[in-house]
Chain A
Amino acid sequence: MKKITNLKIDRRIRNVVIATGIGSVTTQLLTIREFLSQLNGNEFVIALILFNWLFIGGLGTHLAGLLSKNASVKRFYWISICLIILAPLQLIAIRVTRDLIFIHGSSIGFYPTFAYTLFSITPYSLLLGFFLPYSLIVIRNHIADYLGTRIYIFDNIGDISGGVLFSFILVYFTTPFQAVFIAHLPLLFALYRLYASAYNKKTPSFIGTILGITALIIAISIETPTLAPPSGELAYYQETPYGRIRIIKDQEQYTLIRNGRPVFSSQDFSAAEEVVHYPLSQIDSVRHVLMISAQSQMISEVKKYHPATIDYVEIDPAITDAEFRFGLLEKCPEMTVIHEDGRQYLKNTDKQYDAIILNLPEPDTFQINRFFTDRFFTIASQHLTKGGVLSFSVKGFDNYISDNELQKISSIYRTTCHVFKHVLLIPGNRIFFLCSDTPIKTNIDVLLENKNISTAYISGYYYGNITQERISRLNQQLISTGPINSDFSPHLVQILLDEWFSIFSTSPAFFVLILSIINIVYFLCISKEEFVLYTTGFFTMGAEILVIFAFQIFFGYIYLQIGLIITVFLAGLLPGAVYGQYLCEHGNKKILFFTDTALIILMLVFIGAISLFENQISGYAFLLFGFAVSSVCGCQFPVALHLQGGGRQAAVKMFSADLIGAAYGTLITSILLIPFAGILWSAAGLILLKITSLLIINMKK
Chain B
Amino acid sequence: MKTVSRRQFLTYSAFTFAGSTLPGQALCAFTGKKQQSATVDISGTTFKKDAPDHPGKWSREADYYMTLPGDAVMCCICPQSCVLDQSDRSVCRSRVNINGKLYTLAYGNPCSVNTDPIEKKPLFHFKPATKALSIATTGCNFRCLNCQNWQISQAKPEDVRFYDLFPHQVIETALKKKVTSIAYTYSEPVTYYEYMMDTAKLAKQKGISNLWISNGYINPEPLSALCEVLDAANVNLKSFNNATYQKLNGGQLDPVLNTFKTLHDRGVHFEITTLVVPGYVDDEKMIKKMCHWIVNNLGPDHPLHFLRFFPQYKLDRLAPTPVSVLTNFRKIAMDTGIRYVYVGNVPEHEGNHTYCHQCGKLLIERKGYHIPINNIEKNKCRFCKSTIPGKWI
List residues of chain A with CB within 8 A of the CB of B186: 398-400
Is A173 among interface residues, defined by CB-CB distance under 8 A? no
A198 to B8 Cα, complex, angstroms: 52
Is B202 among interface residues, defined by CB-CB distance under 8 A? no
A463 in contact with B369 (CB, 8 Å): yes
A230 in contact with B323 (CB, 8 Å): no
Considering only residues 348-401 of chain A, those with a C-beta below 8 Å from chain B are: 397-401
B30 in contact with A231 (CB, 8 Å): no
Considering only residues 297-328 of chain B, those with a C-beta below 8 Å from chain A are: 310-311, 313-320, 322-325
Which of A51-59, A178-186, A465-473 interfaces with chain B? Answer: A465-473
Contacts A107-B317, A400-B111, A405-B151; is A100 near B35 (CB within 8 Å)? yes
Residue in contact with A464 in the complex, picked from B145, B149, B313, B368, CB distance below 8 Å? B368
Is A204 among interface residues, defined by CB-CB distance under 8 A? no
B320 in contact with A96 (CB, 8 Å): no
Contacts A231-B282, A464-B119; is A105 near B318 (CB within 8 Å)? yes
B18 in contact with A467 (CB, 8 Å): no
Is A695 among interface residues, defined by CB-CB distance under 8 A? no
A470 to B115 Cα, complex, angstroms: 9
A346 to B54 Cα, complex, angstroms: 59
Contacts A119-B18, A226-B30; is A97 near B278 (CB within 8 Å)? no
A93 to B248 Cα, complex, angstroms: 24
A101 to B280 Cα, complex, angstroms: 17
A461 in contact with B369 (CB, 8 Å): yes
Is A104 among interface residues, defined by CB-CB distance under 8 A? yes
List residues of chain A with CB within 8 A of the CB of B26: 89, 92-93, 96-97
B319 in contact with A250 (CB, 8 Å): yes
List residues of chain B with CB within 8 A of the CB of A269: 347
B368 in contact with A252 (CB, 8 Å): no
| Centre residue among B18, B116, B119 by max chain A CB count within 10 A | B18
Is B279 among interface residues, defined by CB-CB distance under 8 A? yes
A464 in contact with B120 (CB, 8 Å): yes
Residue in contact with A399 in the complex, picked from B34, B114, B154, B313, CB distance below 8 Å? B114
Contacts A401-B151, A405-B151, A464-B368; is A262 near B19 (CB within 8 Å)? no
CB distance from A496 to the nearest CB of B (A): 14
Is B393 among interface residues, defined by CB-CB distance under 8 A? no
A248 to B321 Cα, complex, angstroms: 12
Is B29 among interface residues, defined by CB-CB distance under 8 A? yes
Is B136 among interface residues, defined by CB-CB distance under 8 A? yes
| Centre residue among A102, A103, A255, A402 by max chain B CB count within 10 A | A103
A250 in contact with B278 (CB, 8 Å): yes
CB distance from B320 to the nearest CB of A (A): 5
Is A460 among interface residues, defined by CB-CB distance under 8 A? yes
Contacts A101-B18, A122-B19; is A456 near B348 (CB within 8 Å)? yes
| Centre residue among A100, A250, A399 by max chain B CB count within 10 A | A399
B368 in contact with A460 (CB, 8 Å): yes
Residue in contact with A261 in the complex, picked from B32, B314, B317, B366, CB distance below 8 Å? B317
Considering only residues 22-43 of chain B, those with a C-beta below 8 Å from chain A are: 22-23, 25-26, 28-30, 32, 34-35, 40, 42
Contacts A101-B18, A464-B117; is A253 near B319 (CB within 8 Å)? yes
Residue in contact with B29 in the complex, picked from A89, A100, A267, A397, CB distance below 8 Å? A100
List residues of chain A with CB within 8 A of the CB of B316: 106-107, 261-262
Contacts A104-B279, A405-B151; is A97 near B114 (CB within 8 Å)? no
Give per-residue flags for A450-479: 1 if the beta carbon is below 8 A from chain B beta carbons, else 0. 000000110111111101011000000000
Give per-residue flags for B136-152: 1 if the beta carbon is below 8 A from chain A beta carbons, else 0. 10000000010011111
A262 in contact with B23 (CB, 8 Å): no
A103 in contact with B322 (CB, 8 Å): no
Contacts A400-B151, A459-B368; is A255 near B15 (CB within 8 Å)? no
Is A260 among interface residues, defined by CB-CB distance under 8 A? yes
Q: Which residue of B lies closest to A101 (CB)?
A: B14
CB distance from A234 to the nearest CB of B (A): 12
CB distance from A399 to the nearest CB of B (A): 4
A261 to B282 Cα, complex, angstroms: 20
A99 to B18 Cα, complex, angstroms: 13
Is B367 among interface residues, defined by CB-CB distance under 8 A? yes
Q: Which residue of A lies closest to B111 (CB)?
A: A400
CB distance from A516 to the nearest CB of B (A): 23
A252 to B19 Cα, complex, angstroms: 40
List residues of chain A with CB within 8 A of the CB of B145: 103, 106
A398 to B369 Cα, complex, angstroms: 17
List residues of chain A with CB within 8 A of the CB of B18: 97, 101, 119-120
Considering only residues 385-424 of chain A, those with a C-beta below 8 Å from chain B are: 397-402, 405
A93 to B17 Cα, complex, angstroms: 13
Is A268 among interface residues, defined by CB-CB distance under 8 A? yes
Residue in contact with A267 in the complex, picked from B23, B322, B369, CB distance below 8 Å? B322
CB distance from B248 to the nearest CB of A (A): 7
A231 to B282 Cα, complex, angstroms: 10
Is B247 among interface residues, defined by CB-CB distance under 8 A? yes
List residues of chain A with CB within 8 A of the CB of B247: 103
The 6 closest A-B pairs by CB, nearest first: A460-B368, A96-B29, A105-B318, A464-B369, A251-B322, A255-B319
Q: What would 13 A/B residue contacts be, using CB atoms closer than 8 Å?
A: A96-B26, A101-B14, A105-B318, A106-B315, A123-B19, A262-B316, A267-B322, A398-B149, A399-B186, A400-B152, A456-B348, A463-B370, A503-B314
Instruction: Given A100-B28, A106-B145, output 15 extra A-B contacts at Cβ < 8 Å.
Output: A99-B34, A100-B14, A100-B25, A106-B314, A107-B315, A119-B15, A260-B317, A262-B311, A398-B149, A400-B151, A402-B160, A459-B367, A460-B368, A461-B347, A461-B368
